[in-house]
Structure formats: structure tokens, C-alpha cells
Amino acid sequence: MGFRNIIDRLFNSFFKDRKTLPQSTIDPYAQKVESIDDLELAKFFDESLTPEMEQAMQNYTNNGGIYNYPLQTVISEQHTIEIAKKFFASIDPEISAKINDIIDGNYPEIQLVMKPYDGKEESNVNSPTPNNKPLRVFVPIRGDLRQLYELVHELTHTLDTENGDTTTRKILGEVAPQCMERMLDSFLLGMTDEEIKKYGFDKYILEKDIKDRRITTFISRYHNAQALNNRRGNRTLDSRYMLAQIYSAHFNKFDIESQKNKIKSFIDCVRNDDFEGANSVLGIQINRNNRLQREFHIRETIEEIRNMLFPTVETNRIDKRKSKDIERNIEEH
């Protein structure tokens, strides 16, 4: 067991035994994370998953990977970069300028390394550590759409590093990259037929890949919540990833224009260590005293994926009505 794990274990057992701590004896990270009681959120999360959902999720975990579940859309490195640049340009000019500089090698403090996937997972668990410069951002080239998601995800991590790894970043540092991935979903789905043709994509496969990416990400985050609830793993990391799922589920409810404004303000808050501001930008009320809202956020998180795993009754009804309309039209004409 590594030193870090021992510290985490001690940290975890300390919190397990004492839910409320005298504020003066703990560090700012512990204070903030205690204020949202991440362990209780993990408990809600873990207990809210239905056996049917667990069953349906097996289809994804049996395939070898979770986050690394292969996608069917093939993409070149050049197109990956081109689409990432276009995507960030659609979000915000300032963000786009920085990302372009990083990609083009004109940003000395941050070095982007894209290299063929060598079987080592270390290459994609490399949130930049802001205290070492230059930051190195690794993106493995896997030959499919995953590398575009990874590029967008890792580049987003570089947007809030200027003040080091702030307390807010330690807690909410995975939120913006995951929200950005969901905005990439919308961007890809909004591509014109011409663009889709240019990149050699297939619309049906693209839609399936986007759905698979969302589900496999959820599964991975759910495992973080489980680890947290069972007091194993690395509490700090598990907490960050679980919160990314909860926050992004709420973020996904906003329309695209609001998302663009909110993601930028949110990143500013994380960079400036404004924890309350970050929550308020996204309209998240997750403080430990706010039980109803906390339960609402978890329900929203689970519902989103349940609707993707199972076609809802409502959707079925609409489909049936549609097919009736079609039948009627055929009869009438």
C-alpha cells in the first residue's frame, strides 16, 4: 500500500467516525468537502441505482473497458485536432485562442503530447499538476472518436491551472472537462451532412458512439461513488469524479447558449478558488444542510442515464402515435 493510500485510509476513517469536525482543526479542502458531505452523496448515489440498471450496464463492462470502451467512429489525428479547434472556437474566443496556442506549440507553459496508445493507462489519467511547469498534457491516439473526447477533456484541464491546484479545483476539477465533453456531444450531433461526409463519419454510428461514451463515463463515475461509499480507493479522486457526474447531469439541462456562458464562468470560479461562486453559476445546491436539493441532484444524475439505457414509456407512446399517424397518412393518400 502506497503512502498516499495510507493517508487516504486514515483520512477516510477519520471522517467515517466523525461526521462533524471542529472547523479550526482541519484544512480548507477538508472543510469544503465536509460542507457538501461527499460520503453521504456517495451513499445516495450508490443506493439509487436499480438492479435493472446494473444489469444493463453489464453490457458495457463485459467489453473489457469502461472509460476505454472502444468507439466505432474512426478518426485521424489531423481531423481530431481540426474538430477540437472548431469545437472550442464555438464555445468562446478567449478559450479558443489559448487552446489554439497550446495545440500549435505556441504556449510555452503547456506542452501537448499526442502519441499512439501504448497500452499504458497512465497516459490518460494525467490531469495536469499545476505546480510543475511546463504542464504536459498526454492524449493517446487510439484511432477512434475517444481521442477527440480525451483531447477536449485534457485541454479543458489546462484552463483553470493558473493559480495552482486550488481547493475548489481539488474538489470540482473534473466538472468542467466532463461538461465540455457533453457540449462536444451536441457539437458533433449538430454537424452538417457535408461535415459528416468530409470526416468520413456515419451519422448512425456517431449517435451510438456519443451515447456509449456517456454511458461508459457514467459507469466509471458510478464506480467512484461506490468506492467512496465503501471507503476504499482514493477518496479525493473518487470524490472529484463522482461530483463531475452529478454536476454535469445538472449542466446538461441548460440550453447550449447558457452552457457556453456558464462553463466559462464556472472555470473562472474554479481557477480563483471560489467554491460558492462555482456552485451558484451552475445552480447547484449541494450543501449538507440542503437535503431535498441533494437528493434531487442524485435523482437527476441517475434518471439521465436510466433514460439512455431504457427507452421510456413516454418515448414508446410517442413512437406508437407516430407510426399510427404514418399508417393514417398512408390510408388517406
Alpha carbons 279 and 172: distance in angstroms, whole number:
9
Closer CB to Zn ion, residue 127 or residue 279? Answer: 127
Please enumerate in sequence order all residues whose Cβ is within 8 A of that of 62, keeping only pairs 6 or more positions apart, or say none: none
Work out the number of other CB atoms within 10 angstroms of the CB of residue 303.
13
Instruction: Give the residue from 53, 46, 12 showing the smallest Cα distance to 246.
Output: 46
Find the part of the chain contacting Zn ion (CB under 5 A) among 22-30, 126-134, 187-195, 210-218: 126-134
**Of residues 153 and 294, the one with the C-beta less far from Zn ion:** 153
Residue entry with cell 499526442: 114
Q: Which stretch binds Zn ion (CB under 5 A): 68-76, 101-109, 129-137, 175-183?
A: 175-183
Output Rg (C-alpha) for the chain, integer angstroms. 21
Closer to Zn ion by CB, 71 or 173: give it.
173
State yes or no: cis peptide before 134, omega within 30 of 0: yes
Distance CA 151, CA 102 (A): 11
* Residues near Zn ion (CB under 5 A), total: 3
Burial, 246: exposed, middle or buried (Cβ in 10 Å; 0-12, 13-18, 19+)? Answer: buried
Measured from the CB atom, the residue of 127 and 217 that comes closer to Zn ion is 127
* Residue number, 137 or 206, with CB nearest to Zn ion: 137
Q: Does 130 participate in binding Zn ion (rule CB under 5 A)?
A: no
Q: How far is the CB of 219 from Zn ion (least distance, A)?
A: 16
145 or 206, CB closer to Zn ion? Answer: 145
Residue 89: CB minimum distance to Zn ion, A: 22
- Cβ neighbours around 268 below 10 Å, total: 15
CB of 123 to Zn ion, least distance (A): 13
User: Which residue type is seen at 269?
Assistant: C
Q: According to the binding rule CB under 5 A, does residue 177 interact with Zn ion? A: yes
x/- contact string, 75-114, with Zn ion (CB under 5 A)? ----------------------------------------
Q: Footprint of Zn ion on this chain (CB under 5 A)?
A: 127, 174, 177
